Amino acid sequence: MVAQGPKKFSSDSVLLQPVETIKGVGPRMAHHLNAKGLVTVEHLLFNLPLGYLDQRGTRQISKLRPGDYVSFVATLLGAREVRYRRRKIYQVTLSDSTGVVTAKWFRYGRWLVQRFERLKGSVRVSGTLRVFGGKLEIHHPEIEAVEDVHEGGSGDIVPRYSSIPGVGPKAYRRIMKEVVSSFIPQVEETLPTAVRDYFNLVDLQAALRQVHFPSELPELESSLQLSPGLRRLIFEELFFLELLIIRSREMLARETGQAMGLDRDFLRRVGKLLPFSLTNAQKRVMREISADLGKKRPMNRLVQGDVGCGKTVVALLTAFIVIANEFQAAVMAPTEILAHQHYVNLKPYAEPLGVPLVLLTSKLKSREKQISTEAIAKGEARLVIGTHALIQKHVTFQQLGLVIIDEQHRFGVLQRMALRQKGGSPHVLVMTATPIPRTLAMTVYGDLDVSVIDELPPGRTPVQTRIIHAKQRYKAYELLRQEFNQGHQAYIIYPLVEESEKSDLRDVTSMTQHLGKEVFPDIPLAMLHGRMAAEEKQEIMAAFANKQLQLLVATTVIEVGIDVPDATVMVVEHPERFGLSQLHQLRGRVGRSTHASHCLLIYEGGGLETRQRLAIMEQSNDGFRIAEEDLRLRGPGDLIGLQQAGFMDLKLANLVRDAETLATARRAALTLLEKDPELSKPSHAVIRAKLQRQSQQIADLLKTS
C-alpha cells in the first residue's frame, strides 16, 4: 500500500477546509475544536496565542512574579489529596533551591493521582502564579516530565493558547505545528503589495509562522518593539476592521430616512412631568439629536456618559419626539431586569401623555407575548420596551421610526443591524455607560456619530472606594451593619452562582446562606443571579426597590442600570476577577442620592500588580480615566461591541498600545476605497473575498439572531 501525502487544496479554498482534514484530528478532537468555534483551518490559523512561555532556560522560583503566567522547573516533594471546604483537592508540593510552590487541583480524576504516582524527579510547571496566605500557589497547571520537555514544542519558546475543553495544551500545539507546516504554504496574501511595501510589512505566510512558533520571544507591551509578524497581523486586523466600518458608514449615508418635526407643545407637556431640570450636557446632546432627527438621513448616534449621568432621560425625550410624529419607538435593553425597570420607570411619563407602551421579553408568558406582539404589529403600541426578543423573526412593527439600544457594548453591531431591519431605515440611538476615550470611540464606532454627556446631575455624592484584604472582611460587615441601622440598603457581589470544583472562589448561593444565618440573621436579604426565572428576578428587584429587602447578594446581573437610591454600600468579593470598567459599573449602583455611599473591594490574592490595578478604583470616580486604564491593561475585549458583532474579534490589536497603527490602518483603508470604491480591481480580489466572507458571517448571524 502506497503511503498518501498530505491532502492538497486550491489556494482559494485552503482556509475553508474543515479541521477534520488536518492530520491527527479525528472526529472526537474535531468535536471539541468545533465546540470552541474552531471549525476551519482559517479559524485555527487566526486563533492566535495569548502569550508565550520562554522555556529555553531555567527560571528560579524566587525570581517569579505573582500574577504572571510562568514556567519553571522544580523537584516533586510530595503529592496528596487533602480536605478543603467540604471537598477533596489534590495538592502537589514543588521546590527548587530558591523556593516552594504548591500546585492545586480543585477538579481532578484518578488519572491525575496515577500520573503523579509515576512522575519522579524534576518536572516543568506552567500556569498562573498566585499568592494565598503569603504562600505561592499555582492552580491547575500544565505539568511535563523534564525528559518530555523537548516534545510538542517545549524546551523552546512555547505558544500559549486559550484553553479548549477536551484538548490539552500539548495536543493543541501538535495540531498547530501540523497546520503551520501543511497549510501555511497555501495561504494567499491578503494585503496589496503597495500597502506592504509602503508600511514595511512582512508577507502573511511569514507573519503566521512567526506568531505561532517564534524563534525569539515576542515583545507584547510596546508597539515599537513588536516582532515583524505580530506587527503585520495587527495591521491587517485593524485594516479590515476599518474597511468594514468605512463601508458600513458609506452604506448608511446612502439611505434615506424620515425627517421628524419638533412638536414643541407636546415636548413642553413631557418637560412638566420631569421632576428635575436637564443638565447643560443633556441639553447639548438633545440639540445634537434633534438636528439629526430633522434630516432625511437616518440618525446613527452613540450617546456615551458615565454612570448616573442621565442617559435614560435623553432616550425618553428622543422617543417622544418620534412618537409625536406618529411613529413607533423601540428600546432594547441587555437584560430582563433592566428592560422591566425601563418599563416601570417610563410608564409614569407615557400614560399621562396617552402614549401606549408594551413590554416584550422572552420570559413573558405566551399569552402576554402574543398580546404585546399584536399591539406592536398593529401600531397600537407606540413605545416598545424589550430585550433580544425584539429582534426575533415573528416580531414586526407597523411603522418603526426609532431604535434605542441601551448598553451598546453588551449588544454590538450585530443586534443593532438586526433591529434596524425591523423597519425601513429607522433612526438609531445607542447608549453606553462604559465611557470610551473619544478618539478611540470615533475610530471604533466609525459608523456612529458620538455625543458625550460629561456632567452629572446635581445632588449626587461621590462614592468612597476602599480596598480591603479578605482577612479584614469584618470591617466590611461592620460598615454594612451601620448602614442597615440607618435604614439603608446594600449589595454584595460574588463572581460565581454556585460553588465550583474548578476554584475556591466564594459564590452567591452558599454565601447567601452564610450571611443570612451567621452574619445578618436579622436583616431581610435575598440572592439574585442570571439563572433564576425572570418573574423571580423581577419580584426580588421589586422587593429591593420597595425596601422590603435591605441586602441583595448577587452576581454581576445587577451591573447595569439598576437604580435604587437608598442603596449606599457595594461590596465586591474577588474584585481581581473583574475588569476595572465592570467594577466601575457595579460601583455605579450606589451613590444615586445625597446619602454618603461606599464601595468595598475585598481581595484575597493576586500580588502587587492586582493591588495596584485595584488602587485605580480608590483614586478615581472618573469613568473615562478608568476606561483608559482598563483598555491599557486588558485590551478592548467586549468593551467595543465587536465580538458579538461578527465584525472582527480583535485577537492581537490592543487599541491603546496600537493607537498609531489603528490610525495608519484607517488611512490605508480610506486611500484604498478612494481609488477602488467597489474593490473591483483584480489585485484587490482577495480583499473583496475576505470582506464578503465576513459580511456573509454577519448575514448568517442576523438570520439566526
Please write down the long-range contacts of 353-357, taking CB distance under 8 Å and 24 or more positions apart: 353/266, 353/269, 353/270, 353/273, 353/320, 355/320, 355/323, 355/382, 355/383, 356/380, 356/381, 356/382, 356/383, 357/381, 357/382, 357/383, 357/384, 357/385
Mean pLDDT (whole number) for 143-158: 62
| pLDDT tens digits, one per residue of 230-273 | 899 999 988 988 888 888 777 777 778 889 998 888 888 888 88
Same domain, 349 and 378: yes
At residue 579, the pLDDT reads: 82
Q: Which residues contact 601 (CB under 8 A, 6 or more apart)?
A: 465, 466, 467, 468, 572, 575, 583, 614, 617
CATH number of the domain bearing residue 480: 3.40.50.300
Highest mean pLDDT, choosing among 362-366, 446-450, 639-643: 362-366
- pLDDT band at residue 149 using 50, 70 and 90 as cut-offs: very low
At residue 444, the pLDDT reads: 59
Same domain, 287 and 394: yes
Same domain, 289 and 226: no
* Residue with cell string 420607570: 345
pLDDT above 60 (res 59): yes
Q: Which residues contact 308 (CB under 8 A, 6 or more apart)?
A: 456, 457, 460, 588, 591, 592
Range with lowest mean pLDDT among 141-155, 228-242, 360-374: 141-155
| pLDDT tens digits, one per residue of 570-607 | 999 999 888 888 898 899 889 888 889 999 999 886 66
C-alpha of 369 from chain center: 30
Q: Where does a domain end: 123, 148, 173?
A: 148
| pLDDT tens digits, one per residue of 624-646 | 788 777 766 665 544 443 333 33
Same domain, 444 and 482: no
Same domain, 473 and 446: no
The verdict on residue 614 lying in a domain is: yes
For residue 522, CA distances in Å to 485, 516, 519, 525 come to: 11, 8, 9, 9
- pLDDT band at residue 359 using 50, 70 and 90 as cut-offs: very high
| pLDDT tens digits, one per residue of 28-50 | 999 999 988 899 998 999 888 88
At residue 218, the pLDDT reads: 66
What is the spatial distance between Cα 456 and Cα 310, in angstroms, rounded to a whole number? Answer: 7
Question: What's the mean pLDDT when you consider all of the chain?
Answer: 82
The verdict on residue 171 lying in a domain is: no
- pLDDT band at residue 10 using 50, 70 and 90 as cut-offs: very low
Same domain, 436 and 305: yes
What is the spatial distance between Cα 697 and Cα 538, in angstroms, rounded to a whole number? Answer: 35
pLDDT above 90 (res 672): yes
Domain count, the chain: 4
Same domain, 342 and 397: yes
Same domain, 338 and 481: no
At residue 258, the pLDDT reads: 87
Q: Which domain holds residue 699?
A: 189-254+666-705
Helix boundaries (H) for 255-304? 264-273, 280-293
Q: Where does a domain end: 406, 431, 453?
A: 453
- pLDDT band at residue 207 using 50, 70 and 90 as cut-offs: very high
The verdict on residue 163 lying in a domain is: no
3-class DSSP string for 565-622: CCEEEEEEECHHHCCHHHHHHHHCCCCCCCCCCEEEEEECCCHHHHHHHHHHHHHCCC
At residue 217, the pLDDT reads: 72
At residue 308, the pLDDT reads: 76
- Are 613 and 601 in contact by the 8 Å Cβ rule? The answer is no
For residue 219, CA distances in Å to 180, 223, 236, 515, 631 come to: 21, 8, 18, 46, 18
pLDDT above 80 (res 423): no
Percent of the chain with pLDDT over 90: 34
Range with lowest mean pLDDT among 263-272, 349-358, 540-549: 263-272
The verdict on residue 66 lying in a domain is: yes
At residue 169, the pLDDT reads: 84
pLDDT above 90 (res 356): yes
The verdict on residue 684 lying in a domain is: yes
Same domain, 362 and 473: no
- E strand or H helix that includes residue 474: helix 473-485
At residue 155, the pLDDT reads: 53
| Nearest C-alpha neighbor of 422 from the set 379, 380, 457, 461 | 379
What is the spatial distance between Cα 98 and Cα 622, in angstroms, rounded to a whole number? Answer: 43
3-class DSSP state of 10: coil
The verdict on residue 512 lying in a domain is: yes
pLDDT above 70 (res 2): no
The verdict on residue 673 lying in a domain is: yes
pLDDT above 60 (res 222): no
Same domain, 291 and 234: no
Q: Which residues contact 456 (CB under 8 A, 6 or more apart)?
A: 279, 306, 308, 309, 310
Range with lowest mean pLDDT among 158-162, 207-211, 454-458, 694-698: 694-698
pLDDT above 80 (res 419): no
Highest mean pLDDT, choosing among 132-146, 284-298, 403-417, 503-517: 284-298
Q: Where does a domain end: 93, 125, 148?
A: 148
The verdict on residue 90 lying in a domain is: yes
Same domain, 281 and 374: yes
Same domain, 223 and 282: no
